[in-house]
Structure 1
Amino acid sequence: MDVVVIETPQLGDRSYLVHDGRVALVVDAQRDTDRIEEAARKAGVRITHVAETHVHNDYLTGGLILARAHSAKYLINAADQVAYECEPVKDGQTMQIGALTLHAVATPGHTRTHLSYIVTDGRVRAVFSGGSLLFGSVGRTDLLGPGDTAGLTRDQYASVHRLADEAGPDAALYPTHGFGSFCSIGPATRAEASTIAEQLEANHALMDPDPEHFAAELMANLSAYPSYYAHIAPLNMTGPEPADLSLPESLGAGELTERLAGGEWVVDLRHRVLFASNHLQGTVSFEYGSGRSFSSYLGWVLPWGEKLTLVGAREDVQNAIRDLSRIGIDRPDAAVGTEPGELAPGAAVASFPRAGWPAVVHEKPDGDPVVDVRRPDEFAASHVAGAINVPLHELLDRLGELPAGCLWVHCATGYRAGVAASLLQRAGRDVVQIDARFRDAAAAGVTLQIQPLPRR
Structure 2
Amino acid sequence: MDVVVIETPPLGDRSYLVHDGQVALVIDPQRDTDRVEVAAAEAGVRITHVAETHVHNDYLSGGLMLARAHGATYLINGADAVRFQHQSIADGGTVRVGRLTVKAVATPGHTHHHLSYVVTDGPDRAVFSGGSLLYGSVGRTDLVDPEDTEQLTHDQYASVRHLVEEAGPDAALYPTHGFGSFCSSGPPSGAHRSTIGEQLATNHALMDPDEDHFVQELIANLTGYPSYYAHMAPVNRNGAGPADLTVPESVDPTELSRRLDDGEWVVDLRNRVAFASGHLRGSVSFEYGRGSSFTAYLGWVLPWGENLTLVGGRDDVEKAIRDLSRIGIDSPAAALGTEPAALAAGTAVVHYPRAGWDELLRRRSAGDVVLDVRRTDEYDGGHLPGAVNVPLHELLSRMDEVPAGRVWVHCASGYRSGVAASLLQRAGRDVVHVDARYRPAAPS
Give the letter aligned to residue 160 of structure 1: V
Q: Any idea what SS the aligned residue of 1:358 has?
A: helix
Q: CA deviation at 1:123?
A: 1.4
Say whether 1:342 aligns with 2:342: yes
The amino acid of 2:106's aligned partner reads A
Pair 1:446-2:424 in alignment: no
- Please give the residue correspondences for 1:233-244 in structure 2 after superposition, counting only pairs within 5 Å: 233-244=233-244
Q: What is the SS of the residue equivalent to 1:383?
A: coil
1:253 and 2:250 equivalent? Answer: no
What residue number does 2:97 align with? 97
How far 1:12 sits from its partner (Å)?
Answer: 0.1
Q: Percent identity?
A: 70
Matches within 5 A, 1:270-285: 270-285=270-285
In structure 2, how many angstroms separate the alpha carbons of the residues matched to 1:40 and 1:393? Answer: 38
For residue 384 of structure 1, give the secondary structure of its aligned residue in structure 2. Answer: coil
**Code of the aligned partner of 1:429:** R
Q: Distance in 1 between matches of 2:377 and 2:19?
A: 42
C-alpha distance in 2, partners of 1:58/1:188?
A: 16
- Contact 1:82 1:237 (8 Å CA) reproduced: yes
How far off its partner does 1:345 sit?
3.9
Contact 2:180 2:187 in 1 (8 A): no
Q: Distance in 2 between matches of 1:66 and 1:205?
A: 34
Q: Which of structure 1's runs of 4+ aligned residues deviate more than 2 A?
A: none
Deviates more, 1:367-376 or 1:343-352: 343-352
1:203 and 2:200 aligned: no
Deviations 1:370-415 (A, max 9, x none): 0000001110101111100000000000011111000100000000
The secondary structure found in structure 1 opposite 2:432 is strand
Is it true that 1:35 corresponds to 2:32 in the alignment? no
Residues in 1 aligned to 2:237 and 2:103: alpha-carbon distance in whole angstroms: 23
Q: Does 1:69 align with 2:69?
A: yes
Alignment match, 1:7: 7
C-alpha root-mean-square deviation of aligned residues, in Å? 0.9
Structure 2 equivalent of residue 391 of structure 1? 391
> Which residue in 1 is equivalent to 2:286?
286
Given the alignment of the two structures, is residue 219 of structure 1 paired with residue 216 of structure 2, yes or no? Answer: no
In structure 2, the residue corresponding to 1:119 is in which secondary structure?
strand
- Deviation of residue 188 (structure 1)? 4.0
Q: Which residue of 1 aligns with 2:230?
A: 230
Instruction: Supply the distance in 2 between the matched residues of 1:367 and 1:257 (Cα, whole angstroms).
Output: 34
In 2, are the aligned partners of 1:139 and 1:177 still within 8 Å (CA)?
yes
Shift of 1:186: 2.2
CA contact (8 A) 1:9 1:292 kept: no
SS at match of 1:300: helix
Residues 230-379 of structure 1 aligned to structure 2 (within 5 Å): 230-379=230-379
1:452 is aligned to: none
Given that 1:126 and 1:173 are in contact with CA atoms closer than 8 Å, whether structure 2 keeps it comes out as yes
What is the SS of the residue equivalent to 1:101?
strand
Following the alignment from structure 1 to structure 2, what is the Cα–Cα distance between the partners of residues 415 and 435? 8
- The Cα offsets for residues 171-209 of structure 1, whole Å up to 9 and x where unpaired, read as 000000000000001254111000000000000000000
Structure 2 partner of 1:145: 145
Distance in 1 separating the partners of 2:366 and 2:326: 44
- After TM superposition, the structure 1 stretch with the greater mean CA deviation from structure 2, 317-326 or 337-346, is 337-346
Q: Is the 8 A contact 1:277 1:351 kept in 2?
A: yes
Q: Distance in 1 between matches of 2:223 and 2:236?
A: 24
Show CA shifts across 1:215-271 (max 9, x none). Answer: 011001000000000000000000011100000010010000000000000000000
Q: How far apart in 2 are the matches of 1:121 and 1:197?
A: 19
Could you tell me which residue of structure 1 aligns to residue 112 of structure 2?
Answer: 112
Deviation at 1:144, TM superposition (A): 1.2
Deviation at 1:446, TM superposition (A): 1.2
Write the distance in 2 (CA, Å) between the matches of 1:238 and 1:369. Answer: 47
After TM superposition, the structure 1 = structure 2 runs for residues 149-188 of structure 1, keeping only pairs within 5 Å, are 149-188=149-188
Counterparts of 1:76 and 1:149 in 2: how far apart (Å)?
23
> How far apart, CA to CA, are the structure 1 residues paired with 2:344 and 2:173?
51
Contact 2:372 2:379 survives alignment (8 Å): yes
- 2:87 aligned partner: 87
Counterpart CA distance in 2 for 1:178 and 1:303 is: 26
CA distance in 2: counterparts of 1:291 and 1:243, whole angstroms? 23
Query: Mean Cα displacement is larger for which, 361-370 or 95-104?
Result: 361-370
Aligned 8 A contact 2:409 2:434 in 1: yes
Give the structure 2 partner of residue 416 of structure 1. 416
How has the CA–CA distance of structure 1 residues 187 and 205 changed in structure 2, closer, same or farther, with 3 Å as cutoff?
A: farther
Report the 3-state secondary structure (helix = DSSP H, G, I; strand = E; otherwise coil) of the residue aligned with 1:48: strand
- Which residue number corresponds to residue 132 of structure 2? 132
Distance in 1, matches of 2:199 and 2:191, equals 11
- CA distance in structure 1 between the partners assigned to 2:187 and 2:209 by the alignment: 17
CA offset digits 1:142-183 (Å, max 9, x no partner): 001221110000000000011011100000000000000000
Instruction: Look up the SS of the partner of 1:91 in the other structure.
Output: coil
* Pair 1:20 & 2:17 matched: no
Moved more, 11-20 or 144-153: 144-153
Amino acid at match of 1:173: L
Gap regions ≥5 residues in structure 1 = 448-456
Residue 59 of structure 2: aligned partner? 59
Q: CA deviation at 1:292?
A: 3.8
- 1:427-442 matches, cutoff 5 A: 427-439=427-439, 442=441
Give me the whole-angstrom Cα distance separating, in 1, the residues matched to 2:292 and 2:22.
34
CA distance in structure 2 between the aligned counterparts of 1:268 and 1:276, rounded to whole angstroms: 11
SS in 1 for 2:386: coil
One-letter amino acid matched to 2:28:
D
Asked whether the equivalents of residues 371 and 409 of structure 2 are also in contact (C-alpha less than 8 Å), the reply is yes
Matches of 2:344 and 2:260, distance apart in 1: 10
Q: What secondary structure does 1:138 align onto?
A: coil
TM-score (norm 1): 0.96
Aligned to 1:450: none
Report the Cα offset of residue 363 of structure 1: 1.3
